[in-house]
């Protein structure tokens, strides 16, 4: 890689929640000719802190872990980090195609596997620093289009459930949990006939004719999920 007389490859900010990974990797990348290479503080990986760090260092590349612990993902940082002028490369051990396509749509240069051999990681970062495209435009576009089709399908599956009133949605949730109409009535302090009326309204809005169909439709739509 770079000798003392050669121009540095690029400055890099590593964003990873495991200092035991980020710090040695930063040292190895500097030894391979990049520099400076700095690991973000794993104790403060908020979007604001990471973006401020990238801006203060005026880094060329941000090597950003997709999974930052505690259920956090690096994806929301892509656009703000690009706003600092840095190129963002996602670094992940996962292969979730939805996350990968979302990162590419947000503007990431590439998504690379943490299991990649170190010499290949170095070669990839050299290509990024030199402005080379790591993915053909058609390949990137195909992944993003597949994501958008998936999102449209998901919206179509969830649309009927958005027609439910709060009461109807509550009744359907209880049915999914395995409660009978009598148990729902007793728990909500209403009559069984009222519960059955809500169930029939749910069937009508979901365009199904039985509880089995309604539950299968809910599973297919991942409902209630976060609803």
What number of CA atoms fall less than 13 Å from residue 95's CA on the CB side? 2
CATH 3.40.50.2300 domain extents, the chain: 12-138
Measured N-to-C along each axis, helices 181-188 and 166-176 cross at an angle, to the nearest 10 degrees, of 130
pTM for this one?
0.59
CATH 1.10.10.10 domain extents, the chain: 163-220
Does domain 12-138 bear CATH number 3.40.50.2300?
Answer: yes
Q: Round the average pLDDT of the chain to a whole number and report it.
A: 84
Q: What token pair was written down for 6?
A: 């050669």
The whole-angstrom separation of Cα 181 and Cα 172 is: 10
List C-alpha distances in Å: 114 to 47, 92, 117, 198.
22, 5, 8, 50
Secondary structure in 3-state letters for 163-212? CCCHHHHHHHHHHHCCCCHHHHHHHHCCCHHHHHHHHHHHHHHHCCCCHH
Q: Where is 39: in which H helix or E strand?
A: strand 37-39
Q: What token pair was written down for 189?
A: 């302090």
Domain 163-220 CATH (choose: 3.40.50.300, 3.40.50.2300, 1.10.8.50, 1.10.10.10): 1.10.10.10
What is the three-class DSSP state of 84? coil
Whether 92 contacts 114, CB under 8 Å: yes
pLDDT in tens, 121-165: 998 898 888 888 776 567 667 766 776 777 677 777 888 998 999
Question: How open is the CA angle 13-16-20, to the nearest 5 degrees?
Answer: 105
The whole-angstrom separation of Cα 67 and Cα 77 is: 12
pLDDT of the chain, 227 residues: tens digit per residue: 444 444 557 899 999 888 888 889 999 999 988 989 999 888 888 889 899 999 998 999 999 987 777 767 778 888 999 999 999 988 877 666 777 777 777 788 888 888 889 999 998 898 888 888 776 567 667 766 776 777 677 777 888 998 999 999 999 999 999 999 999 999 989 999 999 999 999 999 999 999 999 999 999 888 987 54
């Amino acid at each position: 890689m770079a000798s003392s007389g050669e121009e540095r490859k690029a400055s890099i900010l590593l964003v990873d929640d495991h200092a035991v990974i980020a710090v040695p990797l930063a040292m190895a990348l500097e030894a391979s000719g990049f520099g400076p290479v700095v690991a973000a503080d794993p104790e403060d990986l908020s979007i604001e802190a990471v973006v401020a760090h990238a801006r203060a260092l005026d880094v060329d590349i941000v090597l950003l872990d997709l999974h930052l612990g505690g259920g956090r993902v690096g994806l929301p940082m892509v656009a703000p980090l690009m706003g600092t002028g840095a190129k963002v490369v996602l670094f992940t051990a996962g292969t979730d195609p939805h996350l990968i396509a979302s990162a590419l749509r947000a503007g990431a240069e590439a998504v690379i596997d943490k299991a990649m051999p170190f010499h290949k990681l170095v070669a990839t970062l050299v290509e990024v620093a030199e402005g080379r495209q790591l993915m053909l435009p058609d390949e990137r576009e195909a992944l993003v289009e597949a994501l958008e089709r998936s999102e449209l399908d998901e919206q179509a599956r969830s649309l009927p459930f958005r027609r439910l009133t709060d009461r109807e949605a509550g009744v359907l949730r209880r049915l999914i949990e395995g409660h009978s109409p009598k148990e729902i009535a007793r728990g909500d302090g209403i009559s069984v006939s009222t519960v059955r009326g809500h169930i029939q309204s749910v069937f009508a809005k979901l365009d199904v004719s039985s509880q089995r169909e309604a539950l299968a439709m809910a599973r297919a739509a991942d409902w209630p999920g976060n609803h």
